[in-house]
Amino acid sequence: MYGVDTRALTKRLRERGSTLGRICLQKKGASFDELTSQVSWRDNFDIPEWVDPNSKNLVAKVSTKKPVTYDPPAKLAKLGPDGKVIRILAVDVGMKYNQIRCFVNRGVSLKVVPFDYDFNKEEYDGLFISNGPGDPAVMKDVVEKLRIALKEARTPIFGICLGHQLMATASGASTLKLKFGNRGHNIPCTSTISGRCYITSQNHGFAVDVNTLTPGWKELFVNANDGSNEGIYNTEKPFFSVQFHPESTPGPRDTEFLFDTFIQAVTEFKETKVYKPVQFPGGLLKDNRAAYPKVDAKKVLVLGSGGLSIGQAGEFDYSGSQAIKALKEEGIYTILINPNIATIQTSKGLADKVYFLPVTAEFVRKVIKHERPDAIYCTFGGQTALSVGIELKDEFESLGVKVLGTQIDTVITTEDRDLFAKAMDEIGEKCAKSKSASSLEEALDAVKEIGFPVIVRAAYALGGLGSGFADNEKELIDLCNKAFAASPQVLVEKSMKGWKEIEYEVVRDAFDNCITVCNMENFDPLGIHTGDSIVVAPSQTLSDEDYNMLRTTAVNVIRHLGVVGECNIQYALNPYSKEYCIIEVNARLSRSSALASKATGYPLAYTAAKLGLNIPLNEIKNSVTKVTCACFEPSLDYCVVKIPRWDLKKFTRVSTLLSSSMKSVGEVMSIGRTFEEAIQKAIRSTDYHNIGFNSTEALMSIDIDSELQTPSDQRLFAIANAMADGYSVEKIHKLTNIDRWFLSKLEGLTKYGQKIASYGTKEQLPVRVLKEAKQLGFEDRQIAKFLNSNEVAIRRLRKEAGVIPFVKQIDTVAAEFPAFTNYLYITYNADSSDLEFNDNGVMVLGSGVYRIGSSVEFDWCAVRAIRTLRENGFKTIMINYNPETVSTDYDEADRLYFETINLERVLDIYELEKSAGVLISMGGQTSNNIALHLHRQNVKILGTSPLMIDSAENRYKFSRMLDNIGVDQPAWKELTSFAEAEDFADQVGYPVLVRPSYVLSGAAMNTVYTKDDLMSYLSQAVDVSPDYPVVITKYIENAKEIEMDAVAKDGELIMHVVAEHVENAGVHSGDATLIVPPQDLDKETVRRIVEATAKIGKALDSF
């Protein structure tokens, strides 16, 4: 079965309760391509009668037919005081095989008997009642036998799921039918004894009514979401049962210890024959709370990350902002140190006080002495803040400051490669074989023991700085020289290049409650830094066994390290076995944390800030649903893809090859109901010129085999070209080590693109093929290219055929509970939208992906615009696809669309929402690029008109306008031919400036000093701006550069700020040092600048 809108189905069940269903088989020869009515369904399918399974004795169908005994291996056998193997009798009312394994692997002999077996006549040391299907009320015979067993109390008794309900019924309690049951692998259950919360697997429609428990029985576990009963125990005798599945498989293994608890009770009773309640691990609730009281902090200092750099970008603005929100909710006065003016967290109204100072030990020490905070957070400012925390570790106590969250010693353990390897060895986990080295000689000695190939990693380094792979001694020496320039220590580690790279985001509180919020799988095998890898969430190629093996390890590792808050663990997994190694743990919020938070909707930074105050995880509300607790693992009914963005072409002589040192400057995130839909969205988001997974002419002349074997920033397009050339999945897999599952999905896109093209024209394209294409993530521009048409024509065709997208929510619970969030994405793999469109909100277009020239400052603009609109009573709609931003937080706008900013998607949302207008001036070049296109489609643009934008961005129009209004400018000419360009340059004299239109941060803008360079630079400019004019101007040497930022309304200047460059003209303003107010300008110069600006504002307003 496929093509079912499972989310819509879940919502229907949520609202109406459990519903009978049936599967209808297609009649032979019938077609269901174009089913449109109830009659069509009945004509084309064989429809069986309704059957209510709950009215039948389902246990009789699944229970064993005769007794079967399972003995443990002799070396595992657990003997009682009589020298015999401990015997457990299991009543099979629908038993899972893994329950058998859980007993036998613990050394006991297990005799499994049918549900109607008279087990009270048997001799055994412990009685177990298994899980099973159906209504416990049907099982009257089993209940009666169990009532006798409870009364006789010959041995300890343990029940699971249906066994739990049967035990409760036998004890005198009653059960009730839940509206839609609890079914999933991520359901949180809190122990009433210890207060600990566990993630469990469940699949049941009935529950024990805790209000009917008889004397001597108490609640053992409670569902942390809906409050239903999850377990009971006897206060005098060794009887207990649980509603969930501690044996897991599928699912988490967090409560498998209950088998040990039961066997321990059996052993003790067999030895003593003394009645006492079962002793559960985890301590007592009051003692646990007393050990970690809530932190009494009135004033907290938060360290920011400072200036952006590769590996440390806008994600720390997002995490720091969330942390400050969380602290303020607790009534805590917050102080922030961050010199980055382009961040939301430094804006007025968030932190109570902001210091624009360098995040260094010297300045942090001064602020602490001046402000006297009670506590400090070092985990929300990336490597910069951590390094300061490590440097001041021994001073914090004397300064009277408590470190909140993960302690510095834990951070040091995770950052020091040698200490980390030793810590993992303590719990039997392994890292790759490695040795630390503090000199080149030590590194050379280490490789003699480890053997080539190796990876060299620098300690305390960001973004894999100074790391790389070495296949021989020469490469090792080169790497070590670079690494020691960045760090005093390196780790020489056995290479596992080619293995899968897997990440888990883990959250733990002071009370040892621990969950994994998100697991992510790198599309690229190990060998490429995760910041330069395509990442998919949730993992698509892991089995349940693989997933939970790594999940269990993650929980064990984080507990052993003592992390409090959020962290990230990375693995290398052998694709041909269960062998794995731990690569590293980041004991702080990171780039991956931001991605995981946006991919799941789980507010990681907000939650981590609360946990640092010793608030238990299961007492924090899920701020998305408002009704479930934060101690849960999100359900994803969609697929997320992250693709990095590189700007390597801006630099000459910089290698585009990807390795273990990060080079990307930004990343995009896309959401789809299928991997194909998500990856095509993500490809488009990295650059407006990318239309999807298509072959590209730019790579036609390169050696594809070499490009696939040695990955560069063009690898994905190299795969597209290879597939277009007929390369098989197997061949590409051998060249890249990329999993065949991903490659087969990409091959499907290539073949479907060829299928679309085979129809020749849009008129010949069947509606069914058009719809399937949209479900696979093909955009209108892409389809138009296949059919020699244009985007607008395909859009018109699609809408006329009724092929329209739907809107789905990200709610962390896959629609099982009502959500109050409006965190949204668009898909064609659906039958209905999750919400109504009655707000007519104002749309704000975000900045999109970070790149050189467009970074966190545009996120600041978008967020401030959204907040201002909301303060003035407007409903707001945010569109952005950058996971590192504050604007993509679920609570910033009334509606957040995590979507590509292009013509098709903005029009889709504008029409669905019946928007009051679109604000494009806050998103920088990304939104400016589509301003005119939106205007031509009659979209209401608020603020600066697209015609004004075009007059400023189009170099020819702008230069002509300056001439018309009498504003001085250097001599200029539009490029119409290379010959005329040469004549102009000869006329005005070199140097000249080549200036393309609609570009960011001076892309392809160059100063030309000789005729020989002119043709080359002009060609670059035409390539980067093919649809708009290129202008050549006389370059004025040794000139002072001044900037004017102004606000105008109806062409009249309202306010302005003049900034002076320290460097002479010729240094791009993004690389220049600016002084405000200017120190070296006379009043007349300033007056002329203001006058020219006013003229430009008035002239633009006339368009």
Tens of pLDDT along 114-158? 999 999 999 999 999 999 998 898 899 999 999 999 999 999 999
Distance CA 327, CA 405 (A): 13
Of the pLDDT bands very low, low, confident and very high (cuts 50, 70, 90), residue 496 is confident
Whether pTM > 0.85 for this model: the answer is yes
From 164, 185, 230, 247, the catalytic residue: 247
Where does residue 566 rank: exposed (0-12), middle (13-18), buried (19+ CB within 10 A)?
A: buried
Distance CA 566, CA 515 (A): 10
272-291 pLDDT per residue, tens: 999 999 999 999 999 999 99
pLDDT at 648: 79
5-33 pLDDT per residue, tens: 999 998 888 888 778 888 888 888 776 55
Of the pLDDT bands very low, low, confident and very high (cuts 50, 70, 90), residue 34 is low
Is the bond preceding 616 in cis, omega lying within 30 degrees of 0? no
> Is residue 827's pLDDT more than 90?
yes
pLDDT at 825: 97
pLDDT at 658: 83
368 residue type, one letter = I
How far from the centroid of its chain's Cα atoms is residue 332's Cα?
29
**Out of 403-417, 751-765, 854-868, 1019-1033, which region has the weakest mean confidence (pLDDT)?**
1019-1033
> Is residue 459's pLDDT more than 80?
no
Percent of the chain residues past pLDDT 90, beyond the cut = 66
Active site residue 431: no
pLDDT at 555: 96
- How is residue 294 written in tokens? 């809530």
DSSP letters spanning 453-467:
SEEEEETT-STTTT-
The dihedral formed by the CA atoms of 98, 104, 107 and 111, expressed in degrees to the nearest 10:
130
> Is residue 1003's pLDDT more than 70?
no
Class of 407-430+496-633 in CATH: alpha beta
952-1034: CATH number: 3.30.1490.20
CB 402 within 8 A of CB 375: yes
Of the pLDDT bands very low, low, confident and very high (cuts 50, 70, 90), residue 63 is very high
433-495: CATH number: 3.30.1490.20
From 164, 185, 204, 245, the catalytic residue: 245
CB 267 within 8 A of CB 155: no
Q: Which CATH number fits domain 836-943: 3.40.640.10, 3.40.50.720, 3.40.50.20, 2.60.40.10?
A: 3.40.50.20
Q: What is the mean pLDDT of residues 1008-1036?
A: 77
351-390 pLDDT per residue, tens: 999 999 999 999 999 999 999 999 999 999 988 999 999 9
Helices (H), 914-1064: 925-928, 931-936, 946-953, 955-965, 978-988, 1011-1024
Q: What is the DSSP-derived secondary structure letter of residue 1082?
A: -
498-535 pLDDT per residue, tens: 899 999 999 999 999 999 999 999 999 988 888 889 99
Between 391 and 853, name the one with better pLDDT. 391
Q: What is the mean pLDDT of residues 90-116?
A: 97
541-551 pLDDT per residue, tens: 999 999 999 99
Between 677 and 493, name the one with better pLDDT. 677
Q: What is the mean pLDDT of residues 744-764?
A: 97
> Is residue 802's pLDDT more than 80?
yes
The closest of 967, 862, 470, 881 to 681, measured between CA atoms, is: 881
pLDDT at 1026: 60
Active site residue 247: yes
Q: Are strands 876-880 and 375-377 parallel, antiparallel or unpaired?
A: unpaired
pLDDT at 39: 60
Q: What is the DSSP-derived secondary structure letter of residue 196?
A: -
299-404: CATH number: 3.40.50.20
Active site residue 935: no
> Is residue 1022's pLDDT more than 70?
no
| C-alpha distance from residue 119 to each of 91, 138, 142, 154, 655 (Å) | 8, 19, 10, 12, 73
Rounded to the nearest 10 degrees, the angle between the axes of helix 315-329 and helix 604-611 is 50
Helices (H), 451-494: 473-486
pLDDT at 1017: 76
66-95 pLDDT per residue, tens: 999 999 999 999 999 889 999 999 999 999
pLDDT at 1037: 86
CB 1024 within 8 A of CB 1070: no
pLDDT at 669: 96
415 Rama sector, left if φ>0, alpha if ψ -120 to 50, beta otherwise: alpha
pLDDT at 757: 97
Where does residue 657 rank: exposed (0-12), middle (13-18), buried (19+ CB within 10 A)?
A: middle
Distance CA 1048, CA 1056 (A): 9
> Is residue 486's pLDDT more than 90?
no
Domains of the chain, by residue range, sit at: 6-52, 58-282, 299-404, 407-430+496-633, 433-495, 641-800, 836-943, 952-1034, 1040-1101
> Is residue 36's pLDDT more than 70?
no
> Is residue 202's pLDDT more than 90?
yes
Most confident of 306-320, 397-411, 924-938: 397-411
Backbone angles phi and psi of 846, in degrees to 5: -80, -175
CATH superfamily for 58-282 is Class I glutamine amidotransferase (GATase) domain (3.40.50.880)
641-800: CATH number: 1.10.1030.10
Between 41 and 620, name the one with better pLDDT. 620
Most confident of 101-105, 315-319, 706-710: 101-105
pLDDT at 235: 97
From 102, 161, 480, 518, the catalytic residue: 161
| C-alpha distance from residue 147 to each of 112, 168, 521 (Å) | 19, 10, 50
SS3 454: strand
Is 641-800 the same fold as 299-404? no
167 residue type, one letter = M
**Average of per-residue pLDDT values in the chain:** 91
How many CB atoms neighbour CB 737 within 10 A?
17
pLDDT at 382: 87
